[in-house]
Amino acid sequence: MSTSTSKIASQREELAEINSASSSRGWYQWLLIGVSVLFAVVSISFVGSIIIYSIPAWAHPGTLLTGKGWQSPTGPFGGFAMIIGTFETSLIALVVAGIVGLGTSLSIVFLVPGKFRNIIATLVELLAAIPSIVYGLWGFLVLAPWMLKTFDPFVNKFPFASTIFGSPGQQFGPSLMLASIVLSVMILPTFVAISREVISAVPSEIIEASYSLGATRWQVIKDVVLPTAKIGLFGATFLALARATGETVAVALVAGGVANAQFHLLYPGTSIAAWIATQFGEAQGTEVSALMALGVLLMLINFSLSLISRSLVNRQRKVLARV
Amino acid sequence: MEKIMSDATSAVNVGSESVKTQNQIAMSLKDVAVSFNGKVAVRDATFDVTKNKVTSLIGPSGSGKTTLLRGLNRLHDLTPGAKVTGQILLEGTDIYRGDITVTELRTRVGMVFQRPNPFPTMSIYDNVVSGLRFNGIKKKSILDEVAEKSLRDAALWESVESRLKVSAGNLSGGEQQRLCIARALALDPEVLLMDEPTSALDPIATLRIEELMVTLKERVTIIIVTHNMQQAARISDDCAFLLMGEDRAGELIEFDATEKIFNNPKDSRTLDYTLGRFG
Amino acid sequence: MTMIDELVPQPENTGTRDAIRRTAHAHRARRVAISRVMMILCGIALVLTSIPLVLLLIQLIVRGSSQLNATFFTKLPQSPSLVDPNAIGGVLNSIIGTLALTIYASIMAIPVGVLTGVYLAESRSKLAATLRVIAQTMAGAPSILMGLFGFTLIVKYLQIGFTAIAGSFALAVLMLPVIAISTEISVRNVPDTLREAGLALGAKPHKVSLKVVIPSALSGIVTGCLLAVARAIGETAPVLLTIGGGYLNEWRPLNPVSALPLSIYMNAKSEWPSQRAQVWGIALVLVAFVFVLSLTARIWASRKQKRNS
């Protein structure tokens, strides 16, 4: 595997040499380079413009990161509630979707008979392509009334529930809890699509080898499949987390849209992306910069998550290349 | 104790054959056929595998050698739609219908595959003892003892003794295949199935594996699928010749001592094949 | 027992073998039971995943299809009133707006994305390596950021205002990296022997690229573009900040337009039950668009694979 890659690489180098040697770069080469530079310019101005418009807000970085209130239109603009809300909802969603999703992928690969496997895989990928607004809509019009009618009274029957979920009588349908549920349902297909692929990429040879040594199906999964797929599965997890933290409209619909810094699960709250979406319409002056600054934060979170997930996926490829 | 009991019952069951013969047969196949979703891949396999001998399955591609071999440790259980009919006895116990679980069967009938397939995330040591660990054997002293013995039996101990904790991916192809043999031997199986174990190896590594098989048969009965007729002639004692029938299903043409199959076969098609006239 | 012992040839390490077999036997029932339980748990996870997703699909189809009629597709939206709470009109403006946005965005994104992808695949320069990292990072960026970008650059800095062009620019930025990456992959998958054959025949490198490499990668490139369009068509956040919305049949680039996802977002919060019900119809149409695009892409890709193999 690796030898053939390096062979291809060396051939590519030769080709590249032929390319550059034959004439001082034709119009075609210049076109490709020109367009690619255009792409680079667009990408740089993407990052740059958001940062530039956010600059006025960084006069009070402390307020922006840890301030608890958001007073439109004059400020102060505190981002604490949004930052925590983002992590709270995404992490809950990730834990739920990660555990349930991993079980789902494993049963698609190891339980579902072959002829249904492709149908289910296609279905999962289609579900992953459904626009997030539709998940948000479902959460808002179906789940929220259900939460209000069934879930809240049920949860609040338990003693001490109010410490986590908030005290009874305060709840609305839209809440951080609902946002977490909608996010988990939304990222499930994405996570399952990727993790199923990672798990099916584990070579059948080593799976058969472990069965041949008398392993049970679960032992094959636990001792051979999961260790081999581990890094790729972490990659899938970070990708799902990146998707959850960046989700905008679904959260905007179901989280309640309140800059609430109490973080009880049944209280309304918001996330960075959702807050930008809900406040942007009426924002003026410094509030726009403050929202842009939240955008910069979101960008930082997202870029680091995708950087991690990409390096994990690359490492997984190397692991499989050794087999 | 368990094993002896089951031996005793099966000896009674068989009855017609003498006890002595029964004890010399490791596996006995009767009218074995494998089909996938109703389509027959191989059929009419009837032969006895003698203990402490090498039995080879030869035949052109599509004759169902590998399919038949994989039926002997129930690997087809993993394929939906696969069905094995007929009777396969391991020391007198029917492996599909008898009083034996599939996990137990696989500890008694080991398998070595076409391509070396060590577990990539495990060290050399962990690879060798993986079968023991799967089966609940955790005692360090037993693991160490068996690891050394299996690696010695696979003629790999000298070269890996100092780097047992190194990842198995660092070994050469031939060493990896010997590691896979050691891994299968660690469970001390009665029968070792080998599916073209040298097809991915260079000639020198192939030769070493062949030498290994000849010494190993003192310890374990070997059934090997091979494309390479010289290999079958060199190492096997008995030989089964399979051929694809007109309905594209493989069938057993002839089973006999290797020497007879190659020098004096009963069926003219066997002669044609061993002389290289087709396949 | 002794009689049989004598008849069976005894290997040297019978002690260890027996110990192994005994321990294995003692653990077997437990191992098999654990495996059963864990596999049942996995099956439960599959059911848990299916329940909300299947419910969502069923509700979408049932509630959505009841909204689809001639008015829905051919009329402009109306504001319901106490006199006529069901006078909601149709969503023609959003359908036109979404089509316009998607077309403009494709015109902007596809040429740049495809050529960038070809460059990424064929060049080994530092620029290409840097661009690849940028493209991969951009492809996962939250779509609200594209909205902010469209707003700052087109709406504010260039003072063009809330327009179709601002929205489609935001969507184009979203599609660009996706197209570039999928193009790079399909061009890379063209076997080098094809390239070499072209070069060996004395063709100029750019001719080889245009006449040999790109045509053989074409179906992969088309698949990537379709998937990018499928993603852009359903994005709400970028258009929320850029297109302005409106209730007219508007498609011109320099005017504000509406879009399907935007009217879902707006009308879901409506006080009128009739409007909230209509949202399901809009969602169904949107999902139908996305599914048709994704399935076409998928069939295209699988057909290509069959041909290649």
Report the domain count for chain A.
2
Q: Average of pLDDT values for B70-74?
A: 94
Residues A102 and A20 in one domain: no
pLDDT per residue as tens digits for the range B256-267? 999 999 998 999
Residues A16 and A107 in one domain: no
B188 chain-C contacts, CB cut-off 8 A = 11, 13, 16-17, 20
Residues A26 and A109 in one domain: no
C306/C298 Cα distance (integer angstroms): 12
pLDDT per residue as tens digits for the range C148-166? 999 999 998 999 989 999 9
Cβ-contact B82, B34 below 8 angstroms: yes
Residues C250 and C174 in one domain: yes
Helix (H) / strand (E) containing C170: helix C164-188
- Tell which of A4, A23, A39 to mutate to test the C interface (max C CBs under 10 Å): A39
Q: Average of pLDDT values for C225-229?
A: 95
Report whether pLDDT(A55) > 80.
Answer: yes
What is the pLDDT confidence band of residue C207, given thresholds at 50, 70 and 90?
Answer: confident
Report the domain count for chain C.
2
With a pLDDT cut of 90, the percent of chain C lying above it is 61
Residues C181 and C298 in one domain: yes
Does C52 fall in a domain? yes
Answer yes or no: do A209 and B117 touch at CB < 8 A: yes
Q: How far is CA B145 from CA B125, B127, B185, C12, C44, in A?
A: 11, 14, 13, 14, 42
Structure tokens at C213: 């490499």
Shortest Cα distance, chain B CAs vs residue A258, angstroms? 48
Computed over every residue of chain C, the mean pLDDT equals 89
Report whether pLDDT(C112) > 90.
Answer: yes
Does C33 fall in a domain? yes
Instruction: Report strand pairing: B39-50 vs B250-257.
Output: parallel
Structure tokens at B84: 């094995």
pLDDT per residue as tens digits for the range B29-49? 999 999 999 899 998 899 999
pLDDT per residue as tens digits for the range A247-298? 999 999 999 888 877 778 888 889 999 999 999 888 888 899 999 999 999 9
Which residues lie closer than 8 Å to C287 by C-beta, 6 or more apart?
A: A130, A131, A134, C60, C234
Computed over every residue of chain A, the mean pLDDT equals 86
Q: What is the pLDDT of residue C191?
A: 86
Residues C151 and C257 in one domain: yes
Does C78 fall in a domain? no
Shortest Cα distance, chain C CAs vs residue A71, angstroms? 21
Residues A51 and A71 in one domain: no
What is the rounded (10 degree) CA torsion for A201, A202, A205, A211?
A: -130
Residue appearing with tokens 């690229």: C209
Residues C150 and C29 in one domain: no
Residues A179 and A226 in one domain: yes
Q: What is the pLDDT of residue A227?
A: 93
Flag the least confident range among A79-93, A139-153, A298-312, C260-274: A139-153
Residue-range definition of the domain harbouring residue C29: 3-8+15-65
Q: Average of pLDDT values for C289-298?
A: 93
Residues A160 and A250 in one domain: yes
Tell me the β-bridge partners of B58.
Answer: B241
Taking only residues 53 to 72 of chain B, the set having a beta carbon closer than 8 angstroms to any beta carbon of chain C reads none
What is the pLDDT confidence band of residue A1, given thresholds at 50, 70 and 90?
Answer: very low
Residues A245 and A264 in one domain: yes
Q: Taking the model in full, what pTM does it have?
A: 0.87
Answer yes or no: do A107 and C45 touch at CB < 8 A: yes
Q: What is the pLDDT of residue B8?
A: 43
Please report, for the domain that includes residue C129, its CATH number: 1.10.3720.10
Report whether pLDDT(C95) > 90.
Answer: yes
Half-sphere exposure in the Cβ direction for A120 (13 Å, CA): 21
Q: What is the pLDDT of residue B276?
A: 79
Residue appearing with tokens 């020391």: B91
Q: Is A234 exposed, middle or buried (0-12, 13-18, 19+ CB in 10 A)?
A: middle
Shortest Cα distance, chain C CAs vs residue B24, angstroms? 8
Q: Where are the alpha helices (DSSP H) in chain A?
A: 2-21, 27-54, 61-66, 80-110, 114-129, 132-138, 144-146, 152-155, 161-165, 176-200, 204-212, 217-219, 226-246, 249-254, 272-280, 286-322
User: Mean pLDDT: which of A65-79, B246-260, C29-43 is highest?
Assistant: C29-43
Residues C115 and C55 in one domain: no
Q: Average of pLDDT values for B132-147?
A: 92
Report whether pLDDT(A95) > 70.
Answer: yes
Q: Average of pLDDT values for C238-254?
A: 88
What is the pLDDT confidence band of residue A3, given thresholds at 50, 70 and 90?
Answer: very low
Residues A192 and A79 in one domain: yes
How many pairs of residues across A and B have Cβ atoms under 8 Å apart?
A: 79
Structure tokens at B249: 């299903």
Over the range A52-64, which residues count as b (16 or more CB within 10 Å of their CB) and which as e? ebbeebeebeebb
Q: Average of pLDDT values for B135-149?
A: 92
Residues C113 and C194 in one domain: yes
Flag the least confident range among A60-74, C20-34, C160-174: A60-74
Q: What is the pLDDT of residue A259?
A: 85
Q: What is the pLDDT of residue A172?
A: 57
Residues C106 and C39 in one domain: no
- Tell which of C6, C10, C25 to mutate to test the B interface (max B CBs under 10 Å): C25
A42/C47 Cα distance (integer angstroms): 44
Q: What is the pLDDT of residue B145?
A: 93
Please report, for the domain that includes residue A284, its CATH number: 1.10.3720.10
Helix (H) / strand (E) containing B55: strand B54-58
Shortest Cα distance, chain B CAs vs residue C88, angstroms? 53
B241/C84 Cα distance (integer angstroms): 86
Q: What is the pLDDT of residue B17?
A: 42
A310 chain-C contacts, CB cut-off 8 A = 136
A129/A46 Cα distance (integer angstroms): 25
What residue type is A181 in one-letter code?
A: I
Cβ-contact A228, A204 below 8 angstroms: no
Does C183 fall in a domain? yes
pLDDT per residue as tens digits for the range A222-235? 999 999 999 889 98
pLDDT per residue as tens digits for the range A16-36? 555 544 444 678 888 999 999
Q: Is C43 exposed, middle or buried (0-12, 13-18, 19+ CB in 10 A)?
A: middle
A14/A12 Cα distance (integer angstroms): 5
Answer yes or no: do B107 and C4 touch at CB < 8 A: no
Residues C202 and C264 in one domain: yes
Does C74 fall in a domain? no
What is the pLDDT confidence band of residue A135, given thresholds at 50, 70 and 90?
Answer: very high
Residue-range definition of the domain harbouring residue A44: 2-56
Chains with at least 3 CB pairs less than 8 angstroms from chain C? A, B
Tell me which residue in B106, B121, B187 faces A227 most closely, judged by beta carbons: B121
Q: Average of pLDDT values for A148-175?
A: 70
Q: What is the pLDDT of residue A261?
A: 77
Does C58 fall in a domain? yes
Tell me the β-bridge partners of B28.
Answer: B48, B89
Structure tokens at C288: 């139908």
Report whether pLDDT(B146) > 70.
Answer: yes
Select the more confidently predicted residue: A12 or B110. B110
C8 chain-B contacts, CB cut-off 8 A = 7, 23
A45/C228 Cα distance (integer angstroms): 21
Tell me which residue in B7, B142, B219 faces C4 most closely, judged by beta carbons: B7
Residues C142 and C256 in one domain: yes
- φ, ψ at C246 (rounded to 5°): 145, 165
Does C70 fall in a domain? no
Report whether pLDDT(A215) > 70.
Answer: yes
Q: What is the pLDDT of residue C56?
A: 95
Report the sign of the C-alpha dihedral through residues B127, B132, B137, B139, in that order: negative
C138 chain-A contacts, CB cut-off 8 A = 43, 46
Residues A81 and A31 in one domain: no
Q: What is the pLDDT of residue B1?
A: 43
Residues C186 and C249 in one domain: yes
Residues C30 and C137 in one domain: no
User: Which chain C residue shows the shortest CA-CA distance from A295?
Assistant: C145
Task: Report the alpha-carbon angle B220-B226-B232, nearest 5.
Answer: 75
Which residues lie closer than 8 Å to A149 by C-beta, 6 or more apart?
A: none
CB neighbours (10 Å) of residue C103?
14
Q: Average of pLDDT values for C16-45?
A: 91
Residues constituting chain A? 323
Select the more confidently predicted residue: A260 or A121. A121
Answer yes or no: do A126 and C111 touch at CB < 8 A: no
What is the pLDDT confidence band of residue A11, given thresholds at 50, 70 and 90?
Answer: low
Tell me which residue in A49, A126, A136 faces C291 most closely, judged by beta carbons: A126
Q: What is the pLDDT of residue A323?
A: 60
- Report which DSSP code applies to B238: E
Residues C59 and C160 in one domain: no
Residues A32 and A77 in one domain: no
Answer yes or no: do A212 and B106 touch at CB < 8 A: yes
Cβ-contact B74, B105 below 8 angstroms: yes
SS3 label, residue B245: coil
Residues A118 and A230 in one domain: yes
What is the pLDDT confidence band of residue C224, given thresholds at 50, 70 and 90?
Answer: very high
